[in-house]
Structure 1
Amino acid sequence: MAAQKTNSLEEVHQSVAITQNTTVWKRILAFFGPAYMVSVGYMDPGNWATDLAGGSQFGYTLIWVLLMSNIMALLLQSLSARLGIVRQRDLAQASRDTYSRPVNFVLYFLAEIAIAACDLAEVLGMAIGLQLLFDIPLLWGVSITMLDTFLLLFLLNKGIKKMEAFIIALIAIIGISFLVEMFLAKPDPGQIAAGLVPSIPDSTALYIAIGIIGATVMPHNLYLHSSLVQTRKFDRSAKGIKQAIRYNFFDSLIALNLAFFVNAAILILAAATFYKNGMFEVAEIQDAHRLLTPLLGTEWASILFALALLAAGQSSTITGTLAGQIVMEGYLNLRIQPWVRRIITRLIAIVPAFLTIVYFGEEATGKLLILSQVILSLQLGFAIIPLIHFVSDNRKMKGFAIGKYTKIASWLIALVIVSLNARLVYDEIKGWIETSENPVYLWIFVVPLAVAAALLLLYIIIKPLIEKTMVSPTLVPHIKHIVVKEAEKPIVYSNIAIALDFSTTDEKSIESALQLGGKEANYTIIHVVETVGAMVYGEEIQDFETASDSNYLNDYKNALEAKGYKVTIKLDFGSPKKGIAKLVNEGDFDILILGAHGHHWFKDLLFGTTVDAVRHSIKIPLLIVKN
């Protein structure tokens, strides 16, 4: 029984109809929008921190990194858009369809870290912008950013096109502000051209370069773009799909080049003002704002800088929160109230920002912004590699898989990003070990984590290569496969409880129960919904998984009753360890049949051992069935 297919961003899915009987320009404009929503992530406050640091320390030297990152971003975003257009699945959903549940859980965790790092940069950027414009303390500014959650809800209720228009307006504010800044700074065109020649002066430049890549090519944007393109309802014929891919590429080309202009403008501004005047350590946004007026001779330089920062933070935080929704729904198949989901996403970012400001002071925000972008870059491989695999699968892409040269370019980009990240991780850990007073703790905790991440990345790379076809996992065995064997001996048990987890052990659990009880016994099938929403809301949860699990139980009940067995079903919510024991202890059962999950020690650490916990909590015999 396959899992039901759900739509990405259900509330705005296919909400924009594309009319075929109209002019080409009107069709193109109807497709325009998603890439602009994505592009704001390429000019968020995290980019400002890395661009300022790069420009003030190394002048125009790292402009080539911005250009290379923009080319990478354009290719990867076009792959993301292609995935959403052709397969009508976002990147998180496609991963859930392909990889096992434990792997998806880890990928979800890593994606949430990336989104938290991104949201952290946006929260800090908005708070800094409010402070610079209105002299509001940073802690108050961070608190105010919570209101973005409700602005997002308001815009979504108005429709995706209204939200896109709002984002484009904010992008216009950023672009115009920096256009004026360029006229004021008067950068040297010759030095700008020289900065397009690749070079990495030292390890510090490498750290900042990787931060720039992480700030430019953002993993959460890959999830976001694959979902946003599905807001367009167009002709699903081969011609219509090809047209949608082409128009969305143009959309990405224009939007990401605008983002490149903004990033280059920030780095050039830092080089033309701070680096030129010997101020090599200006990485703090507040310092940049303070120094622009005396260096450029007008107060408007600082005002426009702060206004653009506020617009960048506001626009980026909206799209970052949407990405959080896509990742949660895609990987976990969890649908909860939109306002609850968005508050949770925002809190994940606000808490670290609060703690940083309280414990390290406002002056630590610049370093935190750069660190957040390096973290983003470290997550990139876990999003890029599955994406390349998905759009390379011609069978699932229905003839719209990427070509040989695009595939080669994509893998080269993945190799560059993963190699740079591996070098950064190696250098950082090596430095920590050499300078630490107790390096044994690093060997015990940090080094194994790095090795585990490398092994996971290797698994993600080779799994689809070994398995020529990526088959969606079967979530629950088919009813027809259950073999009913009649009991030949007298009935021993009359009230039998059977705990199911919708795995391959269910078949043997049911067979064992039927052999013990025959057709005279009463059977109760138990299942516990263990999603995050179920743990929070209990029996009030109304998500997709709860409905699916309830349907599965009814399918089992109907199939067994058709064969003459007496069956009831019971559904509980939260922890299986507690839920199974509670239902068994509340009923008048003679025996419990429980399937062994077959975890090894690592999975037990992740999911716990249900069998042992239940065995010690019930007072009736327990039959453990292994697959």
Structure 2
Amino acid sequence: MNPSNHNTGWRTEKSSNSLNEVFSSVNIPKDGSFKKKLLAYMGPGLLVAVGYMDPGNWATDIAGGAQFGYTLLSVILISNLFAILLQHLSVKLGVVAERDLAQACKDHFHPAVNFVLWIFCEIAIAACDLAEVIGSAIALNLLFGIPLSVGVVITIVDVFLILFLQAKGFRYIESIVGGLIFIIFIAFFYEIFLSKPDIFPLLEGLIPKKEIITNPSMLYIAIGILGATVMPHNLYLHSSIVQTRNYPRTTEGKKEALKFASIDSSLSLMLAFVINAAILIIAAATFHTSGNKDVADINDAYMLLTPLLGTTLASIFFGIALLASGQNSTLTGTLAGQIVMEGFLNIRLKPWVRRLITRTIAIIPALVISIIYGEKGTAELLVFSQVILSMQLSFAVVPLVMFTNSKAKMGEFANKMWLKILAFVISAIIIVLNLYLLKETFFPQ
């Protein structure tokens, strides 16, 4: 057992993780400046932020902006603040306990409970992969006219992309992800420039309003935004990849690692907030103000951008951003899948086998729906994938909060009382809102 964990409440020795064994070569300068150390720690936060701007977020952001203008900007901001806190707890678990969330669950819970948690997590990862498949297929259809069913099949090619990148090392993956995020950011910056949003109503939208709760339609989309923003598999992913940094596994070393890794996470998630907010702002400025309030999916948004903004470049940039978003999320979904399977079951599969299984599970429903129902069916399937993610979220958040609250497991790094209360409140809000979302989805009045 790791000497630094000899007095903790963990029952068993930490099992190894193949990702951390392969990607443990990112060294931290011992006597470097604040800037050099921060740059060394930067990277995992970007990979996590990708999950907060995947194609599944687009539908809820577009619908929210088109129907209610800038009002739901406050929901995106609050969701992002929730995410920053939860990802900080994920970082803390990984740095202090040197376990990812899946390993921590395996160590603490009964095998039967772990099996259920694993099943739920695999379903969530498959649902996330489903959103990426549909998003990429829609982007290929919009940009190149490729039929949706063919686009769905083409997405299986990313299996080979994953293998190539994993062979290059973790810094290479982080660089590719950072580059794709930059493309998404530039695309939406251009779209906002064209749409010319009203600044004062936009700023006012950042302040929560009572009607978000009292208006059932607005509340439903608000919960959808929350469910699409806070991704359960990111909590597993972050607690693992933060360990790829070669920091000293001492108390002081962990304190420093926790500080810099949390800065990396918070800055990256604020970038995700800007991109998500940009999608809603564009929808509000372009569709809501022009009376096109019934725009609720990616296809409608793409088709209307050119006539409303007066240039075909608007739609092209939109499609490119969507394609980049889908491919980015594919990378992190694959890594999360490996972490979850190894952490819960200690089963190691070759990366291409793991990737092929996950992608096949996602491709089958996407292919069937695209062939039978076309664009409308895939749009509805995209929204449904976010409902599935919402169902799993509580099963990841509750163990994470429980572990990081524990003095026995975390020692002096256990959450302070104010953080315990805040984490409990956020967990309760997430659970209640997601229960409401499930009720409205499956038992509408």
TM-score range, shorter chain: over 0.9
Q: Per-residue deviation at 1:67?
A: 0.3
The equivalences for 1:100-499 within 5 A come to: 100-198=110-208, 199-200=211-212, 202-431=215-444
Shift of 1:11: 4.4
**2:219 and 2:164 mapped to 1: Cα distance?**
42
What does 1:549-560 align with in structure 2 at a 5 Å threshold?
none
Which digits, 9 at most, give the CA deviation of each residue in 1:299-345, with x for residues without a partner?
11111101111111110111011111111111111112221111111
Bigger relative CO (Cα 8 Å, ≥ 6 apart) = 2
8 Å CA contact 1:17, 1:234 repeated in 2: yes
2-structure distance, mates of 1:245, 1:92 = 19
Query: What are the equivalent positions in structure 2 for 1:8-19 lying under 5 Å apart?
Result: 9-19=19-29
Deviation at residue 428 of structure 1 after TM alignment: 4.1
Q: Structure 1: which 5+ runs fail to align?
A: 435-627
The equivalent residue for 1:84 is 94
Give the Cα–Cα distance (whole angstroms) in 2 for the partners of residues 379 and 385 of structure 1.
11
User: 1: CA distance between counterparts of 2:351 and 2:267?
Assistant: 31
**Greater strand share, structure number:** 1
Q: TM-score, normalised by structure 2?
A: 0.94
Alpha-carbon separation, structure 2, partners of 1:116 and 1:373: 11
The DSSP-based 3-state class of the residue aligned with 1:336 is coil
Q: Output the amino acid matched with 1:114.
A: A
1:568 alignment partner in structure 2: none
Structure (1 or 2) with the greater helix fraction: 2
Deviations 1:362-411 (A, max 9, x none): 22222221221122122111000000011111222132111111111111
**2:92–2:404 Cα contact (<8 Å) kept:** yes
The corresponding residue for 2:4 is none
Contact residue 8 and residue 330 of structure 1 kept, 8 A: no
Are the equivalent residues in 2 in contact too, given 1:7–1:13 (CA < 8 A)?
Answer: no
CA drift of 1:207 comes to 2.0
Cα distance between partner residues in 2 of 1:275 and 1:32:
38
Deviation at 1:282, TM superposition (A): 0.9
- The answer to whether the 8 A contact 2:198-2:285 is kept is yes
Kindly provide the amino acid, as one letter, of the partner of residue 376 in structure 2. Answer: E
User: Helix, strand or coil: the match of 2:31?
Assistant: coil
- Matched residue count: 432
Which residue identity is paired with 2:254?
I
Report the residue type matching 1:355 in the other structure.
V
The one-character-per-residue Cα deviations of 1:91-120 (angstroms, maximum 9, x if unpaired) are: 111111111111111111111111111111
Match of 1:49 among 47, 56, 59: 59
Which SS does the other structure have where 2:99 is aligned? coil
% identity of equivalent residues: 56
Instruction: Return the letter of the residue paired with 2:271.
Output: L
Cα deviations across residues 584-612 of structure 1 (Å, max 9, x unaligned)? xxxxxxxxxxxxxxxxxxxxxxxxxxxxx
1:490-509 → structure 2 map (5 Å cutoff): none
Query: Per-residue displacement from partner, 1:135-177 (whole Å, max 9, x unpaired)?
Result: 1111111111111111111111101001000000000000011
**Post-superposition offset of 1:425:** 2.9
Question: What is the rounded CA distance, in whole Å, between the counterparts of 1:242 and 1:10 in structure 2?
Answer: 20
SS, match of residue 399 in structure 1: helix
Q: Measure, in 2, the Cα distance between the counterparts of 1:352 and 1:203.
A: 30
CA deviation string 1:41-76 (max 9, x = no partner) = 111111111101111111111111100000000000
- Inter-partner Cα distance in structure 1 for 2:332 and 2:21: 15
Q: Is the 8 A contact 2:227 2:434 kept in 1?
A: no
Report deviation, 1:284: 1.8
Residue 49 of structure 1 contacts residue 285 of structure 1 at CA under 8 Å; is this kept in 2?
A: yes
Which protein shows a greater Rg? Answer: 1
2:181–2:325 contact (8 Å) kept in structure 1: yes
Residue 623 of structure 1 corresponds to which residue in structure 2? none
Q: Is the 8 A contact 1:76 1:384 kept in 2?
A: yes
Q: 2:265 is aligned with what amino acid? A: S
C-alpha distance in 2 between matches for 1:2 and 1:31: 29
Name the Cα RMSD after superposition: 1.5
SS at match of 1:136: coil
In 1, Cα distance between equivalents of 2:313 and 2:12: 60
After TM superposition, the runs of 4+ consecutive aligned structure 1 residues lying more than 4 A away are 1-4
CA distance in 2, matches of 1:426, 1:264: 27
SS at match of 2:413: coil
